[in-house]
């Protein structure tokens, strides 16, 4: 989550600052949970191989953000 916030903040020219859990309300418990995930089973069962960029790479691309 921290890396995602830093990547988005960098692209928007905003600082990524730490916040107390209470700041996030109901989302705090969800965000703090250990929910490691892997695509290993999906790759094995479906024979799937990712072809797109990783999330942090995508978030570091100006094209990801709407220009207005």
pLDDT value of position 38: 86
- Give the pLDDT score at 33: 84
Asked if 16 contacts 5 with a C-beta cutoff of 8 angstroms, the reply is: yes
DSSP summary character for residue 33: S
pLDDT in tens, the chain (68 residues): 889 999 999 999 999 999 888 898 999 988 888 888 888 988 999 999 989 988 999 999 888 887 64
Prediction pTM value:
0.69
1 closest CA partner among 16, 13, 22:
16
């Amino acid at each position: 989550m921290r890396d995602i916030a830093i990547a988005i903040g960098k692209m928007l020219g905003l600082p990524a600052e730490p916040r107390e859990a209470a700041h996030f309300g109901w989302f705090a418990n969800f965000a703090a949970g250990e929910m490691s995930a892997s695509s290993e089973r999906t790759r094995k069962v479906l024979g799937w191989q990712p072809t797109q960029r990783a999330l942090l790479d995508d978030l570091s691309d100006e094209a990801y953000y709407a220009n207005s």
